Structure 1
Amino acid sequence: MGRPNSDVPGAVLFAHSSIRFRYLITAAVCIGVGGGVLASAYYYLLELGLATAWGPLHSALTAAFGGDALARGLALVAVTTLGGLCVGVILRFMGVPGEIAAVVNNIHVHNGRLDIQQTPAMTAVSLVSITAGGSAGPEAPLVQIIGSLGSWLGDKLRWTAHVRTLTFCGMAAALGAFFGAPLGGALFALEIPHRNGLEYYEALIPSLTAAYVSYFIFLVLVHPEAPLLTFAGQPEALAVPMAQAMALGAAGALVALLFMFIFRKIGEWLERWERHRIALATFAGFAIGALAVTVPEGLHLNVLFWSEHQLQDVYDGLGTFQAIGIGSALLWLAWAALAKMAAIGFTLHGGLRGGFIFPLFFLGAVTGMAIHLVTGGWVSLPVAMLCTMSAVNVAVTRTPISSTIILTTLSDTHMLPIIGAASITSFLLTSRVVLIVTQRRRESIVPARPSIPTWHDVTAAE
């Protein structure tokens, strides 16, 4: 049949030829394989970095500072500060890679192309950022790395009208592998560019294909633990849990609004340092470490890192919170949430790179724990945590469908209707509030930005 005509709109081209559609699916499979390999390589590099920074390096610094509890805290701050310094140096000499706002913007312009030339800087900066304890995860860097692979393949094949679809395939492959939820990951990639649900429907099946292939490759190469969250007891989708879910959705929306306020204020405060990349990133690393040492280790509320593995710690800490008394527990939970909000702000506004999906889940988890304690257990802990986790994330990212599916998958529960009720409630209550202002409808025609949007651009545009 020959090469597909690049002048035909993407939504139409493959509708009339199953052979040509197979070309696109073949490309999606290739992206999935490449994405799975790249995600696995990134995972192992990250594990090596974490083991080094928080093993020999942290131990050596602790011993140098005296070896006691105070020394451990000082060593922690030293590691995060050193990490921030390294990030600043990388930004100075390799350039500043785009953030989620830039990725979303690029989906809507230049046929949805992500610049593969930003991948080296994004890889280096994000690995150091996450290793140093920054409150941002691997999902956004992987979206850039593997999404740009899809764009590159589209350019090489000269499928100009389908570069966006192949970019989505790369994004879906990244999120499918990282989340361990290929269906949810693919839908998240398609939802995130918009404020009111996915609109690039022609990319759905190719993106799902890439996500499942990538997930399979990741399973073979990494053997990740599953499920990420384990809960004792799961309520049925009856009237009371459903009503609770809607109330929890509203509570999560309020937490998200507070987060967005703090996030913007930190951005405004750090704006004066934007031209001083090394100083800004170093200060951000110091701030992240300083916030972390304010929370006692025994409370299961570690505000370092991207919080993927801290979610189970929050759930397992129920006995500890009950032992110290509800009043003290609520104070520490509130402080941990505020510290995490500030840590996310310093991470992303300070030049460190990563995604905030799991950090947002952490905010929801501690909120859910607080609600469970306040209600004396009337709202079960699985319902309280999962519903508020989804609600906070949905309010910020505008992804109600994928967030529901991802959390249902990660928790290995049958609570999809309950989590979905909280997600939709939060989505509707925050419909007029947007953090990522580059999210828009697909028919909007906006000139390409002359430079990479920063978080300051995002907040200033409002």
Structure 2
Amino acid sequence: STAVSLEPLPVRSNAGSTCGELPREGTAREMFESRFLEGLACDFQAEEILESGGSGGGPGKDLLANMETPWLCSRAFLADFLALSLVAAFMGAFSTAYMWLVGDKTEQWLSAVSPHGKYPEDAESVKTLQGAPLWVPLCWAGGTAVGVLKVLLGVDEVPSFLQEIQHQAADPNLAGKTLVCCVASLMTGAALGPEAGLAAVGGAAGTLAANVFCSGAWVPPERKEERRKLLVLGGITAAFGSIVPAPWIAVLLCWEIAAQKGDEEGSEMRLFGRRKLTLLGWAATLAFVMRYHIRPMKPVPLYGSLMDKAYDNTMPFKALGLGLAAGVMIIVYFIIAGISKALFQRLGKVLTRRCGKPGRIIGLASCAGLLTGLLGWAVPLCLMDGQAAMASTVKHVQSGDLLLEDLVFVALAKCAAYWVAASGGLVGGILFPLMYLGLVFGEIMAHFPGFQHFNQLPGAAFTVPVLMSSLPASIIPVPFTMVALPVTLFGLGPLWCVPLFVAVLASYSVVVGSGLLRRLLLRATAVST
């Protein structure tokens, strides 16, 4: 064995101090620079100790080998923390106004023209074929307006929030255009989620913060790109932290999406370090606190912690069956997607030949708005992202106002409404519509034998959370996030994680693990090209 000396290495800093010594008297800037260089010297010393192959240290050496460089007292960490704090505070306040605009105000105009009361709270306003006739021309006009806006702004396609998280890059100019188009699309009543516009603003805020906080000479040129990626990802994490039931879910969501394949098969993943994870946690928490201070999130009534009292070991096996059923439902979802995309692609080619690119953009968006209005008139609950309709749907099913056939129509119409909007060029996200679709599918499955009653509780108390998690997890690569969301949204206890986790693993394995989703996406890409 080789003896390793733990004496400080005589590495001199610019201020004249060595590793382990206090900096000598000087200006505040010299003292900061001295401490920064002193930390680098100590890091080099630790690396030499580990590389020397010494046998001393026992478990402590293994812990040291996996420990990141100390960062709490560095100026870089303090600057990153300050920048992300400002971004998070802004996102918490912005999110409140944004969600009020695309959520409350959209519900308000849908209710104002409905002859059946407030949408979606009043039962008469959500029954099949009881939508407001005025929704059709107004949604049509809204879709046309989105197309005109896209032409005026010079936007054809916008990046998804999945791309922005994976690449940790955002263009503030494009983000502003995405926000405008997303707000217009959501206020049309399109069955799209708000996360696209919110994530775009979060990434843009992080980019602008990076332009300010990474301009100093104290940030080495080779580290500026790393700082920019951190602030962009932090801004997006703060955006999600302001709308999820608990801030750590936003960190988990971005962590799962940001993981990059380390090899061709994806058997290894590359990920950022704990320092970055800690900063993302602060950003999500500060945004959540700001949003909660302005406007607390409304609880979704289900059965909460009563489910822990109802737990038994048959639940994982029943959840396994529901997870497999979620995989079947996703096949139907993609069949509807294929039909919608094929129709809009053919229409787009015709419009391009006759009217050029601007005519195609406006024409497709206008058709998407018209079909959204028609679907909304026929099946009112297919409108919007579904987030606000979750509590109302549960209430209407429990009261008997929504029957099994109504729920089947809602599920099919929701699939069609999302893909009509997405294929027609309206701008929005996929996550919340999928979660609502899982809720509706859960209510449907609660009518089947074996799920109608569950330990003195209605069957939906079991099927709804399980399918709300497993249906989105079958196509979005965030299985752990999809376990956490229903648990925190419904206030379920820790035992409830067991069936949710089983269902998520089953649906993800069937759809992604089998290669089914890969084949569907490759086929869709080949058709579009």
Please say whether Structure 1 and Structure 2 have the same fold, judged by a TM-score greater than 0.5: yes
Tell me: CA distance 1:285–1:151, structure 2 relative to 1, closer, same or farther (3 Å): same
Note if contact 1:84-1:283 (Cα within 8 Å) is conserved in structure 2. Answer: yes
Tell me: CA distance 1:330–1:167, structure 2 relative to 1, closer, same or farther (3 Å): same
Picking from 208, 229, 232, the partner of 1:164 is 229
Match of 1:81 in 2: 140
Match of 1:392 in 2: 471
Match of 2:343 in 1: 269
* Partner amino acid, structure 2, of 1:360: L
Tell me: CA distance 1:367–1:400, structure 2 relative to 1, closer, same or farther (3 Å): same
Match of 1:351 in 2: 425
Match of 1:418 in 2: 499
Determine the C-alpha separation between the residues in 1 that align with 2:94 and 2:345: 34
Determine the C-alpha separation between the residues in 2 that align with 1:230 and 1:100: 35
Picking from 170, 180, 186, the partner of 1:130 is 186
Q: Secondary structure at the match of 1:351?
A: coil
Tell me: CA distance 1:260–1:224, structure 2 relative to 1, closer, same or farther (3 Å): same
Determine the C-alpha separation between the residues in 2 that align with 1:185 and 1:30: 17
Picking from 271, 280, 285, the partner of 1:200 is 271
RMSD (Å), alpha carbons: 3.4
Match of 2:47 in 1: none
Number of positions where the alignment pairs a residue of Structure 1 with one of Structure 2: 418
- C-alpha distance after superposition, 1:378-422 (max 9, x if no partner): 453122011111111101211111111111111111122221221
Determine the C-alpha separation between the residues in 2 that align with 1:388 and 1:304: 20
Q: CA deviation at 1:346?
A: 0.9
Q: Secondary structure at the match of 1:397?
A: coil
Determine the C-alpha separation between the residues in 2 that align with 1:437 and 1:94: 32
Match of 2:71 in 1: 17
Q: CA deviation at 1:457?
A: 5.5
Determine the C-alpha separation between the residues in 1 that align with 2:315 and 2:282: 34
Tell me: CA distance 1:169–1:290, structure 2 relative to 1, closer, same or farther (3 Å): same
Note if contact 2:149-2:181 (Cα within 8 Å) is conserved in structure 1. Answer: yes
Determine the C-alpha separation between the residues in 1 that align with 2:84 and 2:130: 51
Note if contact 1:357-1:393 (Cα within 8 Å) is conserved in structure 2. Answer: yes
Picking from 362, 366, 369, the partner of 2:436 is 362
Q: Secondary structure at the match of 1:234?
A: helix
Note if contact 1:53-1:79 (Cα within 8 Å) is conserved in structure 2. Answer: no
With 153-162 and 332-341 compared, the bigger mean Cα shift is at 153-162
- The answer to whether the aligner puts 1:95 opposite 2:154 as a matched pair is yes
Match of 2:171 in 1: 115
Match of 1:224 in 2: 297
* Partner amino acid, structure 2, of 1:122: T
Determine the C-alpha separation between the residues in 2 that align with 1:97 and 1:166: 27
Q: CA deviation at 1:361?
A: 1.3
With 345-354 and 37-46 compared, the bigger mean Cα shift is at 37-46
Determine the C-alpha separation between the residues in 2 that align with 1:315 and 1:331: 15
Match of 2:452 in 1: 377
Match of 1:449 in 2: none
Note if contact 1:177-1:215 (Cα within 8 Å) is conserved in structure 2. Answer: yes
Match of 2:285 in 1: 212
TM-score (norm 2): 0.71
Note if contact 1:369-1:385 (Cα within 8 Å) is conserved in structure 2. Answer: yes
* Partner amino acid, structure 1, of 2:196: A
TM-score (norm 1): 0.81
Tell me: CA distance 1:419–1:167, structure 2 relative to 1, closer, same or farther (3 Å): same
Q: Secondary structure at the match of 2:475?
A: helix
Greater relative contact order, per chain length (Cα 8 Å cut-off, separation 6+): 1
* Partner amino acid, structure 2, of 1:207: L
* Partner amino acid, structure 1, of 2:189: G
- The answer to whether the aligner puts 1:429 opposite 2:502 as a matched pair is no
Note if contact 1:58-1:79 (Cα within 8 Å) is conserved in structure 2. Answer: no
Note if contact 2:103-2:388 (Cα within 8 Å) is conserved in structure 1. Answer: no
* Partner amino acid, structure 2, of 1:15: T
Q: Secondary structure at the match of 1:396?
A: coil
Q: Secondary structure at the match of 2:209?
A: helix
* Partner amino acid, structure 1, of 2:437: L
Determine the C-alpha separation between the residues in 1 that align with 2:132 and 2:112: 15
Tell me: CA distance 1:253–1:199, structure 2 relative to 1, closer, same or farther (3 Å): farther
Q: CA deviation at 1:4?
A: 9.1
- C-alpha distance after superposition, 1:308-329 (max 9, x if no partner): 12222332233455x88xxxx4
Q: CA deviation at 1:22?
A: 3.5
Determine the C-alpha separation between the residues in 2 that align with 1:14 and 1:97: 43
